[in-house]
Structure 1
Amino acid sequence: MNLNVGIDVSKAKLDFCGMDSDQKVIFQDSVLNRPAGTNAIKQCILDANEKHDYERTIIGLEATSVYNVLPSRALEEDDELQALGLEVVTLNPKMTHRFSQVYDQDKTDKVDARNIADFLRVGRYQVPVPRDERHIALQRLTRERFHLTKEMTWCKNHFLNNLYFKMNTIDAELPTSVFGATMMTVLTDERYSLDELAEIPLEQLTDDLNKLGRGRFGDPEAVAQALKRSARDSYRLDKQVMDSVNLVLGMYANEIRMFAKQLKELDKSITALCDATPEAKCLRSIPGIGPVYAAGIVAEVAQPERFKNEASLAKYAGLVWQRSQSGNTERQATPRVHSGDQYLRYYLVEAANKVRTYDPTFARYYDKKYREVPKYQHRRACLLTARKLVRLVLTLMKNHELYQPAKMV
């Protein structure tokens, strides 16, 4: 007989319920989400095992943002509970929610804890491989980098939207990125109005760009000509509107510079941890995958042994497409599932986009998928290339091998 302990996690408290294999509730209570609360749950488990001597003790917690991480680790690393052969599992909230819909009952934290314990009793869950400290530390860095990248992309989009008011033809004219350090300074600086920028001599503007860029521009004259053309062809706004646009541009420029600096610091820390991770060395042997992308994949996969094949890893990353079949007809164009580990999917897709520029095998596969459809070619081809990369990633990590490119015939 097993003891199944379901814990409903929230930021402030932990509602828990202990149920045996005969669906009998042994204990049930609510404690604060603090070390004292997990100690109270531990004591209930120890007392129940002294009375009944259960064969197995399973604790299940739903993946509730970050609130389940600390209590689950506190219970998992406790020596007295480990002596009982304790298993701590993190459950998918979608699965427990669908299970609870079978019962016609109220929705409360107490009821949820009991349903989680009942779900454990049924046994339709997977026991995850515990992550060590190195993987958790790496995961904290790579996940924050993911969010930081999204914030930076959001700022860049708003910067471009406001830049359109100031110079609406700049994207078509400029031969370099508007997000370079020198170009950001030029576009947000108020030393030149559009009329002054259009009338300034080309030699003087070229010299100013050289000074701002410290001679790092490949062709400062071409950039100066593009700026003058854009200044001549853009709409003119009154001073009040232009001052507002310049203020907003300056704010977003400062945010973009701040995010770029933070990304640089994060990448430095990620690289240092990645160098001490053996699995990352296998992935870095793939052309195009650097320490950041390798660390992002390793941090989410952790122990590759928990995936029986590449299809299970692809499903975990959300790189699978729903099947739609009825009778003798099977639909060809089906949507990708909107579930899975978004962080792993992001790093796999970004890595695949890099690998296809270095490896001929992946390049041919990307080109083939790119030409198959008339719309969303790059996005679709990148996702499918990432799905192809999953097999290589899992093989290298499981076998601890370095990548050997296919021989060209």
Structure 2
Amino acid sequence: MKLFVGIDVSSEELEACFMNPEGDTLETLKVENNLYGAEHLRDRIVAMADKLPSSEIHIGLEATSVYSWHPAMYLHEQESLQNRNAKVFTINPKLINKFREAYADLDKTDRIDAWIIADRLRFGRLTTTIVMQERYVALQRLTRMRFHLVHNLTREKQYFLQNLFYKCNAFRTEVDSSVFGHAILEMLSEKYSLDDIAHMEVADLADYLKEKGRNRFPDPENVAKCIQKAARASYRLSKVVEDSIDLVLGASIQAIRSIQSQLKEIDKAIERMLDGMPGAQCLRSIPSIDRVYTAGILAEIGDIERFSDQAAVAKYAGLTWRKHQSGPFEAEDTKRIRSGNRFLRYYLVEAANSVKQREPEFGEYYRKKYREVPKHQHKRALVLTARKLVRLVDALLRNGQLYTPGRKVNTATH
């Protein structure tokens, strides 16, 4: 007999409902969402499991960000629960909400929510099983922070460019060099006016760029001429506006450099975690799958044995299309599901875009899918290529196998 435990989580409380396979409520209780409350809940679960007795315990919580993480990890790691074959499920809230629609006459309360979760556990057919192991959770914190920083860096650079247009509107059209190069950021942060730049000797400006750019400019004199041309062609600002813009640009440059520095620290920590982590070498053996893609994919998938097969991984990533069939009719144009792990989907799609450039099999598959439709060709072909990549990732991780170009990899459904 199985014991089903549905837990509705809030920042302060855990509302639990114990249910048997027939759908009968055995017990309900409310505890605080802290260590003491979780210990009491664990003891009540163990007591109920022994009373039935139960052969297996399924514990379910909605994946409510930080609020459910601690109780899920705590219950997952408890030896007394592991000895009684306990599995802890973190369930997508959308899945619970859809299941709730079948009970239109029920109110919305924490106790009823816990009952709904327990009943959904009893129904079964959950796409993923238990929470991830700690090493994957730790890696996930790093990769998601990196994701956050990269997007912040992009926004900060866009904001910088908007303000740069006030100071020197001809800069981006005249200067054929990265605006965010160290030398040019140094020049802008030192608050040179346009007139200062326009009247500097070309040789002096070239030497300045060479020094600040650490000799990375292939032709510093030409870049200096372009900068001066841009300075002369740009509109002039009043002193009060120019001072404000210089202050804004300086603050933006500091923010960009701070994020870049943080990214370096995060990347070092990710590299240390990947060393010796199962599956890291398998994924990095695929052409163009670098440290970032490897860490992002591993952090979101966790232990591949959480998933029954590659189709379950694809569904978890949201790389699955709904079938639309009625009688002899079957629609060709179907929509991708809107649920799924957006981080995993992001890393798989980005990795597929990179792999198709280096791996002929994926490149040909991308081009084939690109030619099949008259619109949205790139987006559709890339997402389908990511779906193909899922089969390869699943096979390599499940078999502990390195990818060898030209060698057949068993990607059959497990």
Tell me if TM exceeds 0.5.
yes
Cα deviation for residue 369 of structure 1 reads 5.4
Change (3 A) 1:240 1:367: farther
Distance in 2 (alpha carbons) for counterparts of 1:51 and 1:214: 73
Cα deviation for residue 9 of structure 1 reads 1.0
Q: Find the counterpart in structure 2 of residue 35 from structure 1.
A: 35
What SS does the corresponding residue of 2:391 show, helix, strand or coil? helix
Q: CA RMSD in A?
A: 2.5
Aligned-partner residue type, residue 352 of structure 2: A
Aligned-partner residue type, residue 358 of structure 2: Y
> Is 206-215 or 348-357 further displaced after alignment?
348-357
Q: Find the counterpart in structure 2 of residue 120 from structure 1.
A: 121
Is contact 1:27–1:44 with CA below 8 Å preserved after alignment? no
What SS does the corresponding residue of 2:279 show, helix, strand or coil? helix
Change (3 A) 1:291 1:96: same
Distance in 2 (alpha carbons) for counterparts of 1:325 and 1:194: 66
What SS does the corresponding residue of 2:358 show, helix, strand or coil? coil
Aligned-partner residue type, residue 38 of structure 1: A
Aligned-partner residue type, residue 176 of structure 1: S
Q: Find the counterpart in structure 1 of residue 219 from structure 2.
A: 219
Is contact 1:159–1:253 with CA below 8 Å preserved after alignment? yes
Is contact 1:271–1:292 with CA below 8 Å preserved after alignment? no
Aligned-partner residue type, residue 265 of structure 2: E
Distance in 1 (alpha carbons) for counterparts of 2:229 and 2:368: 39
Q: Find the counterpart in structure 2 of residue 15 from structure 1.
A: 15
Distance in 2 (alpha carbons) for counterparts of 1:137 and 1:362: 31
Distance in 2 (alpha carbons) for counterparts of 1:339 and 1:97: 13
Cα deviation for residue 296 of structure 1 reads 1.5
Q: Find the counterpart in structure 1 of residue 231 from structure 2.
A: 231
> Is 74-83 or 354-363 further displaced after alignment?
354-363
Distance in 2 (alpha carbons) for counterparts of 1:339 and 1:315: 8
Is contact 1:59–1:89 with CA below 8 Å preserved after alignment? yes
Cα deviation for residue 374 of structure 1 reads 7.8
Q: Find the counterpart in structure 1 of residue 412 from structure 2.
A: none
Cα deviation for residue 301 of structure 1 reads 1.5
Is contact 1:89–1:126 with CA below 8 Å preserved after alignment? no
Q: Find the counterpart in structure 1 of residue 139 from structure 2.
A: 138
What SS does the corresponding residue of 1:68 show, helix, strand or coil? helix
| Partner deviation per Cα, 1:256-300 (whole Å, 9 max, x = no partner) | 111111111111111111121130101111122222321211121
Distance in 1 (alpha carbons) for counterparts of 2:113 and 2:79: 28
Aligned-partner residue type, residue 60 of structure 1: G
Cα deviation for residue 130 of structure 1 reads 4.9
Cα deviation for residue 153 of structure 1 reads 1.4
Is contact 1:324–1:330 with CA below 8 Å preserved after alignment? yes
Cα deviation for residue 325 of structure 1 reads 6.0
What SS does the corresponding residue of 1:16 show, helix, strand or coil? strand
Cα deviation for residue 87 of structure 1 reads 2.0
Change (3 A) 1:384 1:246: farther
Aligned-partner residue type, residue 107 of structure 1: K
| Partner deviation per Cα, 1:12-51 (whole Å, 9 max, x = no partner) | 2111111222332222121111111111112222332343
Cα deviation for residue 106 of structure 1 reads 1.8
What SS does the corresponding residue of 1:357 show, helix, strand or coil? helix
Q: Find the counterpart in structure 1 of residue 266 from structure 2.
A: 266
| Partner deviation per Cα, 1:290-314 (whole Å, 9 max, x = no partner) | 2232121112122223434433322
Distance in 2 (alpha carbons) for counterparts of 1:312 and 1:139: 20
What SS does the corresponding residue of 1:90 show, helix, strand or coil? strand
Distance in 2 (alpha carbons) for counterparts of 1:256 and 1:65: 28
Distance in 2 (alpha carbons) for counterparts of 1:329 and 1:169: 55
Distance in 2 (alpha carbons) for counterparts of 1:375 and 1:225: 44
Cα deviation for residue 328 of structure 1 reads 4.4
> Is 276-285 or 182-191 further displaced after alignment?
182-191
Distance in 2 (alpha carbons) for counterparts of 1:382 and 1:229: 41
Distance in 2 (alpha carbons) for counterparts of 1:289 and 1:330: 35
Mapping 1:162-311, distance limit 5 Å: 162-191=163-192, 193-311=193-311
Residues 1:56 and 2:51 are matched in the alignment? no
Distance in 1 (alpha carbons) for counterparts of 2:219 and 2:20: 75
Is contact 2:76–2:88 with CA below 8 Å preserved after alignment? yes
Normalising by the residue count of structure 1, what TM-score does the alignment of the two structures yield?
Answer: 0.90
Change (3 A) 1:222 1:360: farther
Mapping 1:83-98, distance limit 5 Å: 83-98=83-98
Cα deviation for residue 168 of structure 1 reads 2.2
Change (3 A) 1:379 1:165: farther
Aligned-partner residue type, residue 361 of structure 1: E
What SS does the corresponding residue of 2:67 show, helix, strand or coil? coil
Aligned-partner residue type, residue 267 of structure 2: D
Distance in 1 (alpha carbons) for counterparts of 2:274 and 2:47: 43
> Is 255-264 or 221-230 further displaced after alignment?
221-230
Aligned-partner residue type, residue 48 of structure 1: M
| Partner deviation per Cα, 1:164-196 (whole Å, 9 max, x = no partner) | 2222232222222111222222233312x2233
Change (3 A) 1:353 1:226: farther
Is contact 1:325–1:331 with CA below 8 Å preserved after alignment? no
Distance in 2 (alpha carbons) for counterparts of 1:164 and 1:406: 50
Distance in 1 (alpha carbons) for counterparts of 2:178 and 2:16: 55
What SS does the corresponding residue of 1:298 show, helix, strand or coil? helix
The count of residues paired between Structure 1 and Structure 2 equals 405
Change (3 A) 1:244 1:365: farther
Distance in 2 (alpha carbons) for counterparts of 1:169 and 1:313: 49
What SS does the corresponding residue of 1:228 show, helix, strand or coil? helix
* Percent identity (aligned): 48
Distance in 2 (alpha carbons) for counterparts of 1:7 and 1:185: 55
Aligned-partner residue type, residue 228 of structure 1: Q
| Partner deviation per Cα, 1:333-356 (whole Å, 9 max, x = no partner) | x55433211221222223223323
Change (3 A) 1:321 1:253: farther
| Partner deviation per Cα, 1:233-256 (whole Å, 9 max, x = no partner) | 222222222222221211111111
Distance in 2 (alpha carbons) for counterparts of 1:23 and 1:226: 76
Change (3 A) 1:228 1:360: farther
